[in-house]
Structure 1
Amino acid sequence: MSTFIRGTAILMVAVFTTKLLGFVYRIQFMRVAGEEAVGIYMTAYPAFIFFLSLVQLGVPVAIAKVIAELKAKGETAKLPAVMKTATFITILTGVVFIPASILFVPYLAETLLGNSATSSALYVGIAIIPIAAIGGLVRGYFQGIVRIEETAWSQIIEQIFRIALITWMLPNLLIEGNSPMNAAYAMGITLLAEGLSVLYLLYKYHKHKRKERNVKKETHRYPMEPLLSIALPSSGSRLFGTFTWFLEPIIFLRALSMAGVGAVAATSLYGVISGVLIPLLLFPSFIPYALSVVLVPAVSGAAATSNKSKLKERVHLALRLSALTGAFAAAVFYVHGHAMAVKLFRVSDGAHYMSLLAPIFFFYYIQSPLYSILQATGDAKAGMMNSVYGGIAKLGVMFVLASQPGLQETGAVLAIGFGVLVTSFLHIATLRKNKAAAAGFTMFALPYVSFIATAVLRPIFIPVGKFGLITECLITTGFLLIVLLVLGQVKKNDFLMVKRLIKNY
């Protein structure tokens, strides 16, 4: 259990650092390039992620799971063969999908998005795909052998390099009045940063292989079937998730045009919602993200050795930490979200949506660990279908509501929240059927009640707005902590565990 907790803690610190650095990047990007360039970048980015998902085809997740199981069984000689088979699959998918993506860009930009200004950023995004695919393979390997440090440092290196480039290089490249080119330059910065991150991962991977050169290697090719049996259901969920994200700006722009909003204004508005508000809401998700990354090999290893007590212990710890994270995030963003968006990003339009989305995004924080548990316990197909239903619900509601002149972007925001709720509740319902995990809705009820109590009582006992923003957020956090202690959701053992981690580290 100590390895699981230590790996999670290290990754939490790393992802927190990268998210913090990511905020610096977004703030700089918004201030240097302007809302229109950010809108074009954010409109093109989902397409890049969808094309990357097509090439990866869920192979990184399959690598992590297969390698974790082989390691648990002591069959480490087969690990190089797994990587060779995974690399072959990725090269094959790349040869098929990368040229197809390039040919698809003109139709996507001019017809589907209705804004040809996105084409340059899209082409640069496709150039990132081979680099990112290689990085995905190596990350899967390190996750499988539970070497979290390499993944963590690669993310930190990437973000630091992006900030350096956006601060000192982008201002010299910007062309006044040419937002499409400025967005393409920003995508180019993403390419360079991803390249440096992957170079670091490859260096660490080959260094790790040299340490194990005395281990007898498996001479036979590792079969594709075990990898594909995990990769295809996993890719089905990821593909649909990225496909719905790919469709999101298309439907958003189309629906707003039907409601009477111009293309440039709609693109800028999408940039604010997806590039400022949603990332701000998701900032605390470094905790559930770290848990979801560590959970796949950890739970897979416990399941492979039929250790039900360890399986249950890890599942419950991950879900409890995620629920507590969601409660703190929901409370702070509900009470102070508007002020944070204005203060950090100098954005006023749309900032009020923070208080609308905060109660809903509590359930987002439990979504990724839930799906990782479903993957690791053999319910990947059910998790995939849950994501499908949530994605369809989001897009359908977005088109209906955002096209109404009286709702416009408010309808789109409501649809995003609705999709989160559908997927999360379906994941919980699926996990309840797994007797080994022994998890259900009650695990999340009291943390959510604690958030509601804080949102209602905090302004009554201590009026909001009397102190600085940081002090206000700390007061709300402390108020929620007291509520959680009273309801028994935070215990003395939790503080002792944190103390041991800090001491040992």
Structure 2
Amino acid sequence: MSTFIKGTLLLVIAAFVGEIVEFITNMVLARELGEKGLGMYMSILPTVFLIVLLASFEMPVSISKFIAEKDKRIHRSMLSHVLKWTIIMTSVLLVLVSIIIPFVPVFDNYHPMFRWLVLILIPIISFTSIARGYFMGRSQMGKIATANFLRKIVQLLLLVYLYNLFDFELEAAVLVAFCTLIGSDLVVFLYLFYVFMIQYQYLKNQPTKRLHGKVVMKNLMQVSVPTTALRVFNAFTSALEPFLITTALMYAGVGKELATEQFGMVAGIAMVIGTFPAFIAHSFMMMLIPTISKAAADRDTAQLQKLLKQVMMITLGYGVPAVVICYFFAEPLTTIFFHSPDAARYVQLLWPCFLFRFFIFPLQAYLIGLGLMKEAFIHGVWSTIVAFAIIYFLGSKSSFGMDGVIIGINAEAILLMLLHYVVVCKRIGVSYFMNPAKQAKA
């Protein structure tokens, strides 16, 4: 069995268990916070993730690509440069965020401590990103799988313990939910960085070759800058989306509280149910980035074509049954697990989004591995513009309301997947029906 298949299976199994844990976590959140509280929690998370994204600067992606492509003798030199830069960048970011965050209005409706707790995540995510990137590049997916599972099980245990031990008002309950998220990330940091430092010390005893800092910076920035730009754009639009949706719904005549509840049902219930199998797609993505990077560096077009066919067929194989199950069993799923039968209709309407999202993850891994992050960024911008336009114009009409919002969400996933697919097929020399083209591009 190839390293790619072994690593993917390991990640899929660990992710499956982790998704079950996360599913239970969302059930706990839905029960304890209610639809309004869940809407508040889901509305603030994109803003928090935007700050966290800046802390990571997409180092897992750029480091894994570098490690997969380059000679092992220069790994230690590269990592030493990255550690120094991370210390500097984290310090600067902490100062900047400390100055800016008091003036960020989205935190005004939350507990006063909420905005300051975000600062704790910055150094945690920054240094965890280095370890993640190294282990991904070395295809040591056991450590990544363990870290992903730890994050989810620790958050669940903390939630259950705290909510059973104390009774919280809504504002405090949302704050506690966020604190458990920080606690789980801290545990992951302690684990990953510990095993990373063990391997870093081991590299000192191996043959090494020094690499100039500018060379390392250039290689990493070629991936990190466009990838971070794309993720920042996605995080910014994700942070904006809850407010766009609720505003559009209020223009359609829906009250503010009801609009928040409807968004909570879509983001906190329907999307959780429908995207449950996405752990498989995410596992493919983590394995594909270093694998595609290595194959592209070796100009192994046959391997690139073969992997694409395999991944697309596997995605189709689990994606279609998953969507069919979600569609026909939407009401039992939303009622039994979330006690929210009203969300069943949203699950059914969102089936195109669920299906096409499964394909987006592996296709994005191809774009990263092939060095096509500029194209990925452009695709993200266009699909978001189209989606936001539909959400606003249809969602603000009383005849559509949330149905119009869902049409926009579906359109974004479909358009993004098709744009990614067309570019990848052209680059590796296959037709849209997976037949080899006459001449593949190098």
TM-score by length of 2: 0.92
Decide whether aligned partners of structure 1 residues 203 and 262 sit closer, same or farther in structure 2, where only a CA change above 3 A counts: same
1:369 positional shift: 0.3
- Partner amino acid for 2:38? V
- Partner amino acid for 2:5? I
Residue number among 64, 74, 77 corresponding to 2:73 in the alignment:
77
Is 1:125 matched up with 2:118? yes
What is the count of residue pairs matched by the alignment?
A: 433
Tell me the equivalent position of 1:196: 187
Decide whether aligned partners of structure 1 residues 21 and 310 sit closer, same or farther in structure 2, where only a CA change above 3 A counts: same
Is 1:161 matched up with 2:157? no
Residue number among 77, 88, 94 corresponding to 2:90 in the alignment:
94
Residue number among 415, 419, 438 corresponding to 1:422 in the alignment:
415
Asked if 2 retains the 8 angstrom alpha-carbon contact of 1:51 and 1:98, the reply is no
- Partner amino acid for 1:369? P
Asked if 1 retains the 8 angstrom alpha-carbon contact of 2:305 and 2:428, the reply is no
Separation in 1, partners of 2:101, 2:406: 27
Separation in 2, partners of 1:107, 1:244: 19
Paired residues for 1:403-422 under 5 Å: 403-422=396-415
Asked if 2 retains the 8 angstrom alpha-carbon contact of 1:125 and 1:187, the reply is no
Decide whether aligned partners of structure 1 residues 322 and 311 sit closer, same or farther in structure 2, where only a CA change above 3 A counts: same
Asked if 1 retains the 8 angstrom alpha-carbon contact of 2:309 and 2:434, the reply is no
Tell me the equivalent position of 1:45: 45
Separation in 1, partners of 2:18, 2:155: 11
Decide whether aligned partners of structure 1 residues 256 and 103 sit closer, same or farther in structure 2, where only a CA change above 3 A counts: farther
1:98 positional shift: 4.0
Separation in 2, partners of 1:120, 1:413: 34
Which moves more between the two structures, 90-99 or 195-204?
90-99
1:132 positional shift: 1.8
Secondary structure in structure 2 of the residue aligned to 1:216: coil
Separation in 2, partners of 1:6, 1:433: 29
Deviations 1:96-152 (A, max 9, x none): 444444454455435xx8x62376544433432321222122111100011000010
By relative contact order (CA 8 Å, sep 6+), the higher-ranking structure is 2
- Partner amino acid for 2:6? R
Separation in 1, partners of 2:397, 2:123: 41
- Partner amino acid for 1:182? A
- Report the RMSD for the aligned CA atoms in angstroms: 2.1
Secondary structure in structure 1 of the residue aligned to 2:67: helix
Separation in 1, partners of 2:103, 2:318: 41
Asked if 2 retains the 8 angstrom alpha-carbon contact of 1:131 and 1:194, the reply is yes
Decide whether aligned partners of structure 1 residues 132 and 353 sit closer, same or farther in structure 2, where only a CA change above 3 A counts: same
Tell me the equivalent position of 1:22: 22
Q: What runs of 5+ residues in structure 2 fail to find an aligned partner?
A: 436-442
Separation in 2, partners of 1:406, 1:89: 53
Deviations 1:313-347 (A, max 9, x none): 22221222122222122211122123211221111
Separation in 1, partners of 2:256, 2:101: 18
Secondary structure in structure 2 of the residue aligned to 1:410: helix
Separation in 2, partners of 1:148, 1:439: 32
Asked if 2 retains the 8 angstrom alpha-carbon contact of 1:60 and 1:140, the reply is yes
Deviations 1:27-75 (A, max 9, x none): 11211232222221111100111112223222221101011001xxxx2
1:414 positional shift: 1.7
Tell me the equivalent position of 2:440: none
Decide whether aligned partners of structure 1 residues 89 and 268 sit closer, same or farther in structure 2, where only a CA change above 3 A counts: farther
1:408 positional shift: 2.2
Is 1:182 matched up with 2:177? no
TM-score by length of 1: 0.81
1:441 positional shift: 5.2
1:216 positional shift: 2.4
Is 1:289 matched up with 2:269? no
Decide whether aligned partners of structure 1 residues 44 and 441 sit closer, same or farther in structure 2, where only a CA change above 3 A counts: farther
Deviations 1:4-36 (A, max 9, x none): 000000000111111110011111121123222
Tell me the equivalent position of 1:395: 388
Asked if 2 retains the 8 angstrom alpha-carbon contact of 1:291 and 1:369, the reply is yes
Asked if 1 retains the 8 angstrom alpha-carbon contact of 2:76 and 2:203, the reply is no
Residue number among 105, 111, 115 corresponding to 1:109 in the alignment:
105
Tell me the equivalent position of 1:302: 295
Separation in 2, partners of 1:106, 1:413: 33
